[in-house]
Amino acid sequence: FQPKLFTGKRMLITAGPTQETIDPVRVITNHSSGKMGYSLARAAIEMGAEVTLVSGPVALQAPAGANTIHVTSAQEMLAAVEAHLKDQDIFISVAAVADYRPIQVSQHKIKKNTAPLTLTLEATPDILATIASRDDAPFCVGFAAESENMLQYAEEKRRRKRLPLIAANIASEALGRDQSSLVLLDDEGIHPLPQAPKLTLARGLLQHVAAMLDKSQAA
Residues labelled as active-site residues:
30
**Rounded least distance, CB 28 to ligand C5P, Å:** 12
C-alpha pair distances (Å), 101 with each of 110, 121, 179: 16, 5, 30
Is 135 marked within a binding site? no
Closest CB to ligand C5P among 114 and 147?
147
d(CA 204, CA 184): 10
What is the rounded distance in angstroms from the CA atom of residue 2 to the CA atom of residue 202?
Answer: 12
Residue nearer to ligand C5P on the CB measure, 157 or 198: 157
The smaller minimum CB distance to ligand C5P, of residues 48 and 153, is found at 153
> In angstroms, what is the minimal distance from the CB of 94 to ligand C5P?
6
Residue pair 91/165 in contact by the 8 Å Cβ criterion: no
Q: Is 91 annotated as a binding residue?
A: no
Spatial distance between the Cα atoms of 55 and 33, rounded to a whole number of angstroms: 11
Q: How far is the CB of 137 from ligand C5P (least distance, A)?
A: 13
**Residue 186 annotated as binding?**
no
Q: What is the DSSP string of 15-48?
A: ESB--EEEETTEEE-----SHHHHHHHHHHHHTT
Closest CA to 74 of 154, 18, 25: 18
Residues near ligand C5P, by CB under 6 A: 14, 74, 93-95, 97, 99, 124, 126-128, 142-144, 157
Q: Which segments are annotated as binding site for CTP?
A: 99, 109, 125-128, 143, 157, 161
Q: Which segments are annotated as binding site?
A: 99, 109, 125-128, 143, 157, 161
